[in-house]
Amino acid sequence: MNNIKKNYILFVILLISSCAATTPQLQLDGFWVVKPPIVARSTAGYGTIRNTGKVADTLLKVSSDIGFVMMHKTEMNSGMAGMMHMSKMVIEPGSELVFEPMSYHLMFSDMAEHIHQEGETATLIFEFEKSGIIKVTVPIKP
Ligand SMILES: [Cu+2]
């Protein structure tokens, strides 16, 4: 192998390894959407985003094919549960962001009627500052 080729390969290896050290590693786990009652046009979605990388990432937006999605947090205020809208959510390295009942959740509204049928799935599109777009297909279940 000539030297130019060797140097080029070394450069590529350096590029790949430096890239891995400075990018978040996100895993989306167990996402699902609560099947709403037949008359409802809104529901919630839950799941976990884990960042096993060395740098933080920020969730900027979630969208879907079944309705409009907002990131919410349920908070107790003098005995009453209220929902706070989150415009973005930071996921620190080595931590996880958990969407679960009475905490952070995905709030779906203006839902299409077809999701009331059995066995449907939803496509969730997560938009992150550094990792870009991550698409997942999730079940809609009771
Ligand atoms: Cu909500």
Helix, strand, coil % in the chain, rounded to nearest 5: 15, 50, 30
Distance (Å) from CA 28 to ligand 1 centroid: 20
> What is the value of pTM for the model shown?
0.82
Q: Which residues surround ligand 1, an ion (CB under 5 A)?
A: 72, 83, 107
pLDDT digits (tens, 9 = 90+) for 46-88: 999 999 999 999 999 999 999 999 999 999 888 888 999 999 9
Phi, psi of 99 (to 5 degrees): -95, 115
What's the topology of domain 25-141? Immunoglobulin-like (2.60.40)
Q: How far is the CA of 105 from the centre of ligand 1 (A)?
A: 6
Taking the C-alpha atoms of residue 18 and residue 21, their distance in angstroms, rounded to an integer, is 5
Domain ranges of the chain: 25-141
Chain position carrying tokens 């879907």:
64
What is the whole-number distance in angstroms between the Cα of residue 101 and the centre of ligand 1? Answer: 10
Ligand 1 geometric centre to CA of 58 (Å): 19
pLDDT digits (tens, 9 = 90+) for 10-59: 665 555 555 556 788 999 999 999 998 888 889 999 999 999 999 999 99
Phi-psi region of 97 (alpha: psi -120 to 50; beta: other; left: phi over 0): beta
Q: Residue 83: count other Cβ atoms within 10 Å of its Cβ.
A: 13
Buried b (16+ CB within 10 A) or exposed e, 107-140: bbeebeeebeeeeebbebebebeebeeeeeebeb
